[in-house]
Amino acid sequence: MEDQESQEIILNGIGGSPGICIGKAYLVDKEGVDVVKKYIVRESFLSAEVGRFKTAVKKARESLRQIIDNTPEELRQHAQILETHMLLFKDKMLYDRTIEVIEKERVNAEWALKKVVSLVKPMFENMTNDYLKQRAEDITHVADRIMENLVGGDHVNIARIDKRVILVARDLSPAETSQIQLERIKGFVTNRGGRASHTSIIARTLEIPAVLGVGNATLKINNDDIIIVDGGAGTVVVNPTEQTLLATEERRGQYEIHKALMVRNSYLPAETKNGQRISVMGNIELPEEVVSLLDHGGDGIGLYRTEFQYLSRPDFPSENSLFENYKDVIDVMGHRPVTIRTLDINGDKAVNYIRDNQEPNPALGLRAIRYCLRKPDIFQTQLRAILRAAAYGNVRILLPLISGIEEVEQAFEQIDEAAETLEKQGVVYKRDIPVGVMIEVPSAAVTADILAEKADFFSIGTNDLIQYTLAIDRGNRHVAHLHQPLHPAILRLIKGTCDAAKANGIPTYMCGEMAAEPIFAPILLGLGVNELSMNPQTIPVVKNAIRSIDTTGIDGFMEEMMRLTTPNAIQDLLAHQFGSVVPRIGLSEQER
């Protein structure tokens, strides 16, 4: 009879951080905090029960503060993630509502906390945006810390692990992940989490392989099991056979060589063999991602999504808070461009303190620039902060979801008004900065010639442009196959945008997922895109691809491509013309 315990099994999850590691599993025991009993609290003891909850919150805050204070200097860039957890301890949705449940329902604090978390988490989990979905995990991490103090559980101390192991846990919080000792922890696997989670971001910054969202890893893996973690493919092999181990070792070697070559050359400019140079920038959501961007050879920030500063808060951030965050990023970037996209909330990025954001079709509703123009006080706060920060570096403003020239004109009026108030108040600022328009709505692409007369640059957001043009919900697996960047309609819209920009003497940038695919680089160069922006980890691969291309005579290729009528025909032509020079070997979708 075959030994079931040593049988090789493959678990599938989400690649949180690329790379491959092989080692013994170390199960991090965090069981217990979910086992919560409910009991009724007598009215005379309610005040004490609330006090017990407040004490647990206080202890949890002190514990997290200690972790932040003890974070090594090289990991300081993660501190803001942990600071957001500090804010959640006092979040009205979590803190005030738990106290309210204790008092109104006369239940114990553990039960009240569990009930509130079960109500709040789905609000984030049901959002279509991956980034915001992962904020549900932040709620869980904070609640777990409070719960551990209520039930008397011990915190997991990752820093005390003294073996070379791979961590396997139901979940790891950013605080726990930041305690990882790189000389001991090879990688980790979790039941929960996703690619956009803070835990995943820290893993990528630490550059250790991680697979998240496996679901049942802690049930399928035992302590000291030999496991293979492939963070690029999002797979975990438990008890691998000798053959699998040998094949993995060979693949890991190839990956490390390939990665080393990519990173070693990442500081070289992205210049084709025939001398066509293009800037390769990074997209960031958090200030702490700036270090990773520079380490991967980014020429600047092509898209700074500012929504994060409006999340995990009880209300809108102040002008000074925004200014300090922008200035922190600008200071690190020095002379390099920093493209700050103005607030893009609502739609699939709702914040909890906006009460009037319930819409039947939020993707087509009051979001992004539409919301900002409707709420000028909120817009002015952000614009003033940007203009103040612009005095310290090379800043651009990017306006999202523009659908017509009227919105651009109104946005410029708002920017001028912000500058005038700063001038009157004698505050240091800079108004003479480029203001660009995101081309992500078909109407904007079609009227690019009109928009180009006002805008200083275009930045094409291919994710929304494809979604709106082809009527594809990217989150709907039934139609996901129709999300085709090489669709003739998409290529014609991009070409029209580039042509209009060129005719008006302004540059065209691209900050969507299409920019991060090295195989698309020849087309984007041929269309006339002047700058690409992507997640920082992809920068070395795309730069390397560009350096492999010779665009001499590309006009003929572009003319032939634009005559083709289907995405498959265009893909075949692209593969035929450039497939042999654009590197794709050894890299998963997430690594590319």
For residue 360, is pLDDT > 80?
no
Q: Mapping DSSP to helix (H, G, I), strand (E, B) and coil, where does residue 212 land?
A: strand
| 382 neighbors 306 (Cβ within 8 angstroms) | yes
Among 81-95, 103-117, 448-462, the range scoring the smallest mean pLDDT is: 81-95
Do 222 and 298 have their domain in common?
no
> Which of 17-31, 163-177, 327-341 ranks highest by mean pLDDT?
327-341
Do 137 and 166 have their domain in common?
no
Q: How many CA atoms lie within 13 A of 3 on its CB side?
A: 5
Do 369 and 428 have their domain in common?
yes
Do 16 and 99 have their domain in common?
no
pLDDT digits (tens, 9 = 90+) for 243-294: 999 999 998 888 888 778 877 888 899 999 999 999 999 998 778 788 889 9
User: What CATH number corresponds to the domain at position 414?
Assistant: 3.20.20.60
Beta bridge partners of 338: 301, 395
Q: Can you read off the two tokens belonging to residue 175?
A: 């605080």
Please provide the average confidence, as pLDDT, over all residues in the chain. Answer: 85
Do 106 and 245 have their domain in common?
no
For residue 587, is pLDDT > 50?
no
Q: Is 474 annotated as a binding residue?
A: yes
Indicate the pLDDT class of residue 118, thresholds 50, 70 and 90.
confident
Question: Which of the listed residues 206, 232, 258 is the one where a domain comes to its end?
Answer: 258
Indicate the pLDDT class of residue 314, thresholds 50, 70 and 90.
low
For 151-276, list the strands marked E by DSSP.
Answer: 165-169, 185-190, 210-212, 226-230, 235-238
Do 145 and 163 have their domain in common?
no
Tell me, yes or no, whether 2 lies in a domain.
Answer: no
- Residues with Cβ within 8 Å of residue 225, at least 6 apart in sequence: 24, 25, 238, 239
Indicate the pLDDT class of residue 592, thresholds 50, 70 and 90.
very low
Q: Is 325 annotated as a binding residue?
A: no
Question: Which of the listed residues 90, 120, 151 is the one where a domain comes to its end?
Answer: 151
Indicate the pLDDT class of residue 588, thresholds 50, 70 and 90.
very low
Give me the helices (H) in 425-538, please: 442-446, 448-451, 462-470, 488-503, 521-527
| Number of domains the chain is built from | 3
Among 101-115, 118-132, 145-159, the range scoring the smallest mean pLDDT is: 118-132
If one compares 67 and 523, the residue with the highest pLDDT of the two is 523
Indicate the pLDDT class of residue 85, thresholds 50, 70 and 90.
confident
Q: Is 463 annotated as a binding residue?
A: yes
Compute CA 453 distance to the chain's CA centroid, rounded to the nearest angstrom: 32
Q: How far is 577 from 31, CA to CA, in rounded Å?
A: 55
Tell me, yes or no, whether 265 lies in a domain.
Answer: no
Phi-psi region of 297 (alpha: psi -120 to 50; beta: other; left: phi over 0): left
The pLDDT of 428-438, averaged and rounded, is: 97
If one compares 284 and 152, the residue with the highest pLDDT of the two is 284
Catalytic residues: 198, 511
Residue 523 confidence (pLDDT): 96
User: What CATH number corresponds to the domain at position 138?
Assistant: 1.10.274.10
Residue 582 confidence (pLDDT): 64
Tell me, yes or no, whether 35 lies in a domain.
Answer: no
Residue 180 confidence (pLDDT): 76
Give the structural domain span for 113: 43-151
Residue 155 confidence (pLDDT): 58
Tell me, yes or no, whether 34 lies in a domain.
Answer: no
Do 391 and 507 have their domain in common?
yes
Do 94 and 241 have their domain in common?
no
Do 135 and 185 have their domain in common?
no
Do 128 and 70 have their domain in common?
yes
Q: Is 305 annotated as a binding residue?
A: yes
Tell me, yes or no, whether 380 lies in a domain.
Answer: yes
Tell me, yes or no, whether 349 lies in a domain.
Answer: yes
Q: How far is 212 from 231, CA to CA, in rounded Å?
A: 9
Residue 280 confidence (pLDDT): 97
pLDDT > 90: percent of the chain: 46
- Residues with Cβ within 8 Å of residue 349, at least 6 apart in sequence: 127, 129, 131, 132, 307, 367
- Residues with Cβ within 8 Å of residue 365, at least 6 apart in sequence: 346, 347, 359
Q: Can you read off the two tokens belonging to residue 487?
A: 């669709």
Residue 312 confidence (pLDDT): 57
Question: Which of the listed residues 107, 127, 151 is the one where a domain comes to its end?
Answer: 151
Residue 474 confidence (pLDDT): 60
Tell me, yes or no, whether 580 lies in a domain.
Answer: no
pLDDT digits (tens, 9 = 90+) for 364-403: 888 899 999 999 999 999 999 999 999 999 999 999 999 9
Do 478 and 348 have their domain in common?
yes
Residue 32 confidence (pLDDT): 41
Q: Is 589 annotated as a binding residue?
A: no
> Which of 267-271, 359-363, 504-508 ranks highest by mean pLDDT?
504-508
pLDDT digits (tens, 9 = 90+) for 16-65: 888 899 999 998 865 444 456 778 888 888 888 898 898 888 888 887 78
Find, among 486, 489, 462, the residue nearest to 474 by Cα. Answer: 462
The pLDDT of 478-487, averaged and rounded, is: 81
Residue 5 confidence (pLDDT): 54
Q: How far is 124 from 53, CA to CA, in rounded Å?
A: 24
For residue 166, is pLDDT > 90?
yes
Tell me, yes or no, whether 482 lies in a domain.
Answer: yes
Among 188-197, 252-261, 327-336, 480-489, the range scoring the smallest mean pLDDT is: 188-197
Count of Cβ atoms closer than 10 Å to residue 412 Cβ: 15
Q: Mapping DSSP to helix (H, G, I), strand (E, B) and coil, where does residue 222 land?
A: coil
Do 108 and 141 have their domain in common?
yes
Q: Is 192 annotated as a binding residue?
A: no
Residue 480 Cα distances to 266, 403, 471, 484, 588, angstroms: 32, 25, 11, 9, 19
